[in-house]
Structure 1
Amino acid sequence: MGGSSKQVTGYQYFANFLLFIGNPIEKLLGINFDKRGWAIPLLDDQGNPLDVGMINKPNLFGENEGGVTGQIHARYGTANPMPVSFYTDYLAENDLPPLAYPFQSYLAFEDFYLGNSGYMKEMLLWPKRIHIKNDYGLQWYDAKAEVPDLTNIVDYQNNFEINNDVPYQPFTYYFADLEIGYLRDELFRGLPLSDGSGSNDAQGDVSNYKQSILNRVQGSGFLQFEFIKVSYLITYHTVEMDTNFPPGLEIFEHTEEDVSSEYPNTSGFKARRVTYICRSSATDIGLDMHGKYGFDGRFKFNYDFVINNLDNHQTPIYANSGDINPIHKIREILTDDTAMNKPEHNVNVANFVKAADRVWDEGLGISWAITEKSCIDAINELCSHIEAGIRVNRQTGLYEMVLFRDDWFKEDEIHTLAESKIKSISFEVQNADDVVNQLNVSYYDRNNIKNASFSISENASIKNMQGRVNAESSDFPYFMNQRNAAVVAQWKLKQFTTPCWKGSFTTGHNQARKWNRYDIVKLNWSRKGIADLPVRIMNINLGDGIDNTVSIDFVEVVPFSDELTSSVVIDDKIDVTPLPPQPILFKAFELSYFEAVQAHGQRTVDDELAFNPYSGYVAVVAQRSQNNSLNAQMHTDAGTGYENSAVIQYCETAQLDQSIDRLASSFIVKKVGDLASVRIGSQIFINNEIMVFQGFDAASKLLTVKRGALDTIPKIHADNSVLFFADDFVAVDSTEYALGEAIDVKALSTTPSGILDLSGSDTQTVTIHSRAIRPYPPANVKINGQYFPIEIETDLILTWVDRNRSQQTGGEILGWFESGVAIEANTQTYLTLIELDEANLVLASNAVNVTGSSSYTLPMSSMQPATRSVQIVLKTTREGYDSYQYFNHIVELSTFFSAPYNLTAIVNEI
């Protein structure tokens, strides 16, 4: 690490420096500062590596210690990396030669804010190197290099994008007519391709031919091959068209579908649509079509061979980043010039491909980062993770992998040894006396960045031992998830809990000198009742040249396929990692006059309103999101970016257990906080209504309130509506906003370790209505002596009481249903009555100034004859400002039986 730093006002530290990772990597998956969570600064939305990334977490370490922000440049260890400009300038200023550090991965932090403490926090890097080798060349057998995390896999087939609407450049379509003649007398006669390309190189005798139908396709990337494959039964022989892919094409998917029904004129043929999805690292792709046929018959078939260029960036994508295939890692240790440096031709390619395929299917990927370890130790540890062994085949001299699986060796690869060929033998039953029936397994939990453990027990064995547990340890430091560790641990436990033969024997059998370590031999020894016992060779000694007796150490093969009655026991995790800041439930709103006075004092508020009556204040109440959060931050944005506006002290909350109407003053709540701490007479905010807390019965969860307090009217509220018990916990932005301004508000929880990122909070928008200057509306409104009636049968009689904004700034808060007070000075009360017909069309509208009154009557006789309902709007106005809310209700006229009516009675006599 090297670079320079500077300190600016407020003890904030900025720096330019380099951080070397080491050998080449293909991408940086994340950076974790001080174990506060992974930041992904150098990947785009598709997971592809970037050269430059940004981190913007200025409060990552908490309000006092700051965080990290700045630009990060990545160099991934290519042969000729471009130098980072600021470091090149630094070297030039100090007369040092510019260095780009080929084959070295490093990060360059430019103008990076390091927090306020003046020292670098611990930094965890998550680099990835799977698909490239140490020299930045393409990984061997790259198709199976990255093993998906099977705990959360997304099928890679769904991540290929095949675009059939655009030309495939530089890949194109090729067509071939392939004709087989009378094969008894003729060689294969191949027709050239339709564009004149391709070869016509019929080869071999009458039983074989070869036709190269693709030999000039240029380019590399992901491809889809699709063609029709045919076979034809000729007496006792089958004509079979087959396909061989050249080196450089790695197969991801191969499917075949019977489509014979689509070719009704080819009786006797079996047609299959064949699809390959593969990746090419070559620039000149050839494809050979091979056929084997009998000696009688003739057919001709058209081959439509299509190559589609797939999106070159759509590599197999998994929900979790995959790990490297341990077979690839073992091969790299063998061949890399920084390790054992064995020639690549000393590795049995077919064998390693077979092993890589099997481990990939099993999902046993590993991750590691080492600074120093012997190659032999590293290989042995990797083999232990996947239950495998590595050997040098004594016949071929090639390195080979042997996976300890039931079906690894074919039947003809298993040796047999007659009892008569055994010179001497000694063996015993291992695990007979002290059976291990539990493994305490450890692995690395990547998600939580720490070592983790669990136990796995063989229940049947424990029962047979009268409940006695005999435990051993098994460590898997390169497995990053519990699933992989559990899979292999069960295999190992099966070996521990199964009594099996272990020993050695000598033989003069000549063929035994050709056997290899980890081969399987079927052993016979009648005196122990052993017949065709499969044993694995663990060590083999060929003798000293004088005595050629072969000495072999063995252990009985324990089948892996048999099911265990084991159970995995994972202890409840004790989470010692502090919970990071979580999103919180909050309510943003504009302050009423009462709340503004509580926050700033009445004289201050009155003076500010006299100077700027159109102003308004934004406030927030919030629920605690987690135990380790003491408070939250209120951030507001009026169009110029978010600013930290206030500190939020959490209030208690509850939710409605059912919907409530306008009249309910007692109701059941759920998800209740500590309401015992709530002060009687304090405010409750729910949707657009303010209630007043009167009491709470913890046993029944019955909440009692006053409705429609201050400048609000009782509303209907739905089930699950949240009640915020504000009391003294209203956080207020001190900025005065103008009428009509829309303010975006976020509430960010804080913990000792950090602050919730802005992107983690919902946005609530508050539009300023100059609420504090507006008079309170009339309250306790009744229609014909009832609250909010549906209909009336007589004249409309309206009563109400007055409220006073400036008077009600202290003491007990009045509810909407309580008696009145003297109206605020210079305040007018206006009543608007709107008559509506059956279609709710306006027939008449009458606005009346009813200031000084507390009732008004509208006779039915004065209404329009077609009136069927009346809308009642009652509000106050002071100096041009209408009340923030107002009474608005529609009542129907029940006039059907109103006098006078002419009634006619029809009497049926019986």
Structure 2
Amino acid sequence: MWVQVALFVASLVISYLLQPKPPQAKPSAFDDIKFPTIDDGTPRMVVFGDVWLTDWCVIGAGNYRTSPIVKKQKGLFGSKRQTVGHRYLMSLHMGLCLLMDEITQIKIGDRVAWQGVSDSANQSHIRIHKPDLFGGDDKEGGIDGTLIIMKGASDQRPLPQLQQMYDSPVPAYRGVVTFFFDGMVCSGSPYPKAWAFRVRRTTCEWYNEKATIWLDDGNGNPIKAMNPAHIIFEAQTNEDWGRGTDIGQLDLDSFKECADILYDEKFGMCIAWKRQDTLKQFIQQILDHIGGALMIDRTTGLWKLVLIRESDKPETLPSFDYGTGMLRIEEDNNSSNELVTNQLVVSYTDPVSNETRTVRTENLASIQRDGIILQNKTYVGLPTSDLAGRVASRDMKIIQSHLKKFKIVLDRRAYALQPTSAFVLKIPQRGIDSMMMRAVRVEHGTLTNGEITVTAVQDVFGLPRTTYSQVQPSLWIQPSLSPEPIVNARLWQLPYPHLLDVFSPEQLALNSDGYALVLAERPNSLQQGFEMWAKTTGEPSEQYVGQGQFVSRGMVQNAVHQTSQITTLTLDTIGVMSIGQCALLNDEIVQIQAINFDNRQISVKRGCMDTVPTAHDENSAIWFYDDVALVAEKAIKVGQTLTVKLLSQTSQGTLDLSKATANSLLIDNRHARPFAPANVQINGLSYPNQIQALNKISWVGRNKISQNTAILDQNAPHQSVETGATVSLIISKKTSANGSYQRVVQKSGITGFSLDIVADNPSNDETKLVVNLDNAVMIKVELWAVKDGLTSWQRHSIEVAVG
């Protein structure tokens, strides 16, 4: 028996010794490990507030290495150490976003690997020691290594560890947030899990003290949200990812006002623009959250930010009825639909957990009557249930209010209305004594009819102030629709730059014909336009030469001095005008630089194109003519007199030719003449009132050919003059206050741009001029240009007291 047992044991030992050894686990090759990579040109995300970034992108990986996982395996003769897997270590270069203040949490595979608040320095280090995050060596390992945060400052240097990984020079990655991690990323299984980062950014170069809005999630967790006004400001001005708008083109007061309101409301947002939508769509998304609008203010030409909130002074709002500017009602979409949403569910994103949550608001009375009529809305930028609930209540109030809508036509008294503007509408003929409205769309149309079409909705904040009454008999009197004679009109010959809108410089060089600009003021708001009938010298009767449009005309309430500086004009009324528009002040062309509608003032550049600055009396007329087709379609020969009659038009007909006033203009070859010099200075001063002695006269050149269609004023830089153009000069003096001017000297053919006034010039220096001004109490300097025998359209005439 013992022999049989011994033979069995020997057989078992031999069998164990002869069996093949179990294979040692081999590590996966680096090429087998897959990462979510990023390509060149991929748009980089922009972070606002407190957000989670879950789109893990690996720019590069390297320094691949493994560490064996060795465990003891039991056998007949004891235990053996055997490699059962490997830990995978490597370097990862990860791209995150454009800008970041700090990182507060890192999740890998939906498990928290690190949390805290990272350093504020541009480059900082985070030690992540979670080797058992995914079960340790028995399962899928964990994370163990150092994360280097690089915020992409303008002076950021290339990271040495990154250069070592690629074994070649690398960029510094300025302007973008990147992370560099080196250490264990997984074990057992060669499949790294996705990384997610909770980051925060509210820093803004503008008004930073109101950029951060601290919120609470209701469980004691702080949320660092960003002021939406600052988000829109960055989207407008950022030159890297935004519109790149110059800050000077923003109405900063409106942005600051909105920032203050949102800060006080604790209306902070947390959102990341992932560049999947256009910038316009992203800005609109922010505006939808806050209930606001972004537009170009017609009165300033600047981008203006407006919040739709309750007016704190409703009694100051403009009011319109049939006697104060309302012409007619085109649409009245006020049919009531009782079956509207009565339960609204708003979804928002919790930045602490990165989960989508919901709040609900409802109208219980409507639900009991009609059943549940559900609507869902998503506001991804709202970070708290409190803020989501406030927005849900706002939207439900709008839905349940059955707001009235109108499309009305107003006259020019509504010039100041813009989208989001609040105003009061009074239509007693329809039982509406007073109703607060909010403009949705404002269409100014053309100058032909002077009408402003406004699409408006009843202001949800103004509902308590709306009053209704029984319909009363209309007291409105239908105005006369008969065409009226045009009282204020003027003919004016077009200068060279305006003719370039139709002709080329080569055509104008061969064409001496003149063209007239017809300026006419609307007799009343019902006159829609006018026909132009004209004849020239020798023609028996007027012929139709085109259709005209009315322009704005004003009377300057202050005397205007002769100057080359920007001048403020106070007008009797502000009509239709815009910044950059040309105007004709008597015979001087000016260009609008600023408009103050409240004070009826405009600031203008002086002596534009081929005109020079002159003094203008109080109550001088100014015509605003730019961008309107006003040219009579008739070429007139030089020396002929053009006579034009203007026939006003209404919906009922055209004025009879016999009732129209004739306007005449002698045509000269204006466009062929050289431009006068500009910015004339006496002793280095522009238009001085008094000097001790005349020492120097200087000016800058003008060139109509190189100027082309540009509108240059007196202070524009010097231009090389046309070939063959020279300057002529006359200096006169008075020897008594009541005396007349006597010519002292005249000089022509001047090619320079200054003259020194001397008592003697023995060397006949062309830059010097001998002038005897003995006993002078006043002097007058006249300066103009000459080319091919033609003088400039206007000449400078400057009078200065001496003594």
Give the alignment's TM-score, normalised by structure 1.
Answer: 0.40
Output the TM-score relative to the length of structure 2: 0.46
